[in-house]
Amino acid sequence: MLLRHTTAEVAERSALSVNPAKTCQPIGAMYAALGLHRCLPHSHGSQGCCAYHRSALTRHYKEPIMAGTSSFTEGSSVFGGQSNLLQALNNMFTLYDPDVVAVHTTCLSETIGDDIPQIVDKANEKGHIPEGKYVIHANTPSYVGSHVTGFANMAKAMVDYLAEPAAMKNECINIVPGWVEPADMREIKRLCWQMGVDVIMFPDTSDVLDAPQTGEYEFYPKGGVTIPELKQTGASSATLALGHTASAPAARALDVKCNVPCEVLDLPIGLAATDRFVDALRRTARVEVPQYLENERGRVVDVITDMHQYFHGKRVALWGDPDQLVSLTEFLVDLDMRPVYIVTGTPGKAFLKRIEKALDGRVPEAKVKQGLGADMFLMHQWIKNEPVDLLIGNTYGKYISRDEDTPLIRHGFPILDRIGHSYFPTVGYGGALRLLEKILDALLSDQDKNSPEESFELVM
Ligand code: SF4
């Protein structure tokens, strides 16, 4: 079984990753593109890449993922994929009538060096792009970055291609939500509306990847940011970017292009990060925090007080996406837990500093690894040397969980072996409550499972 033969002895590796804690860029670009209303994502590369990206998203969201592919053959691999993309654009606009096609590249088309804007110009010349329709693109070579940078690149492409500068600013605030679940995006919008703040969220996969079952199949579900809304982002008074890795590039591009000032915040996971988000909304939109939200927060504090005795000192291993890890680490430290192992395969400049800040000097034994060699194999080796009480991360941790008999809370992307996770937010005060319940359930179920007969308690 995967990871069954992991040895405890940690050897320095300079070139090899084993089960990396990341996946490839186009998956993120495809996910972001699905958050644009009536958009058809398009993978400029081989069919195999596109099939993998679609199936990765389908397996996580349990929804059909529509996307086109340039279907490279041996010929296009040598001479470039221009004619394939021209034909694909013509076919897609003729057969599927999207408002926008979001093209992302793959390792192969990047290595060839295909110039997407030049090919799109050609498609325009040939009349393959109907009046009023758009093609945007992001470069997403997978030998650099990860699915998170792919998401960031496509979110930035939305700004580069579609945002329009405006002389007069309005009261609206743009929110770039980062790679979170559709339910998280809905929850972030609910928080904004509850505070009376008018927002444009982009991308927005709520009501796309968690659309209700109506008995009718909709090729383009009703959710997603619309093109007119994206054009309007240039007239907003500010942008709040949630997550330094996934959201900051789009927010900064909008500032440069349309002079919309931005503030980059952590994902609002946990009490402190949600407080900062709510406070940023309050300051930016000059509104009051309603009593309703204060009550929500108060309930989280009450539950933490009740649960704290079980959390204190528990050692946790975390892996996944950098923006998620920073906020989760801060939350766990606030609960007096000890996030001792933290691993992400996604590169990015400020991650280590931000994790250090989240640890706040309170977990001196913490080991943090990012980028090359930051993989599930290393995580398993660390755990073999000094076990943990809890694992938090994506499905790939289930092998470690089984081998080491340690409870696992599934969080992040991808979750391939459970259903329903994308319908429950983990952001905001409501999301914090859900996380708290999941953590305590996992710890106490483990205690029940392993306690001897004489200390198996009905009341805990
Ligand atoms: S890593 Fe590159 S070659 Fe592999 S699926 Fe992703 S884009 Fe395709």
Statement: residue 4 has pLDDT above 80: no
CA distance 193 to 293: 11
Average model confidence (pLDDT) for the chain? 96
For range 167-194, the mean pLDDT: 97
Shared domain check, 304 and 283: no
How many structural domains is the chain composed of?
Answer: 3
For range 101-125, the mean pLDDT: 97
pLDDT for 2 equals 62
Pocket lining: 24 vs ligand 1, CB cutoff 6 Å: yes
For range 76-105, the mean pLDDT: 96
Shared domain check, 38 and 147: yes
Q: Identify whether 12 is part of a domain.
A: no
For range 382-403, the mean pLDDT: 97
Shared domain check, 297 and 441: yes
pLDDT for 139 equals 98
pLDDT for 58 equals 97
For range 271-294, the mean pLDDT: 97
Start-end of H helices in 98-146: 107-112, 116-125
Please name the residue whose Cα sits nearest to atom 3 of ligand 1.
Answer: 107
User: Tokens in use for 126?
Assistant: 């040939």
pLDDT for 14 equals 84
3-state class of 200 per DSSP?
strand
Q: Which domain holds residue 120?
A: 25-161
CA distance 88 to 68: 7
Q: Identify whether 14 is part of a domain.
A: no
Shared domain check, 48 and 89: yes
Question: pTM for this one?
Answer: 0.96
Pocket lining: 105 vs ligand 1, CB cutoff 6 Å: no
User: 98-115 burial, b if ≥16 CB within 10 A, otherwise e?
Assistant: bbbbbbbbbbbbbebebe
Of 133, 53, 35, nearest to 90 by C-alpha is 133
CA distance 228 to 236: 13
Please state, for a pLDDT cut of 70, what percent of the chain lies above it.
99
For range 184-193, the mean pLDDT: 98
For range 62-70, the mean pLDDT: 96
How many helices (H) does the chain have, and how many strands (E)?
17, 13
Pocket lining: 107 vs ligand 1, CB cutoff 6 Å: yes
Q: Is 208 exposed, middle or buried (CB count within 10 Å of its CB: 0-12, 13-18, 19+)?
A: buried
207: left (phi over 0), alpha (psi -120 to 50) or beta: left
Pocket lining: 426 vs ligand 1, CB cutoff 6 Å: no
Residue 381 Cα to chain centre, angstroms = 26
pLDDT for 11 equals 87
Shared domain check, 80 and 211: no
Shared domain check, 304 and 267: no
Please name the residue whose Cα sits nearest to atom 4 of ligand 1.
Answer: 49
Confidence of residue 13 (pLDDT cuts 50, 70, 90): confident
pLDDT for 349 equals 84
Statement: residue 253 has pLDDT above 80: yes
Does an H or E element contain 387, and which? none
Shared domain check, 445 and 310: yes
- Structure confidence by residue, pLDDT tens digits, 320-367: 999 999 999 999 999 999 999 999 999 988 999 999 999 999 999 999
Please name the residue whose Cα sits nearest to atom 5 of ligand 1.
Answer: 49
**Could you tell which of 44, 52, 149 is best to mutate to test the pocket of ligand 1, judged by most ligand atoms within 8 Å of the CB?**
52
Shared domain check, 306 and 447: yes
Shared domain check, 255 and 152: no
For every residue of 208-276, which 3-state class applies, written as one string? Answer: CCCCCCCCCCCCCCCCCECHHHHHHHHHCCEEEEECCCCCHHHHHHHHHHHCCCEEEECCCCCHHHHHH
Confidence of residue 5 (pLDDT cuts 50, 70, 90): confident
- Structure confidence by residue, pLDDT tens digits, 23-50: 999 999 999 999 999 999 999 999 999 9
Q: What is the CATH number of the domain that holds 322?
A: 3.40.50.1980
CA of 24 to the centre of ligand 1 (A): 6
Q: For tokens 């600013």, what's the residue? A: 169
pLDDT for 1 equals 53
| Domain boundary, last residue among 140, 161, 182 | 161
For range 386-407, the mean pLDDT: 97
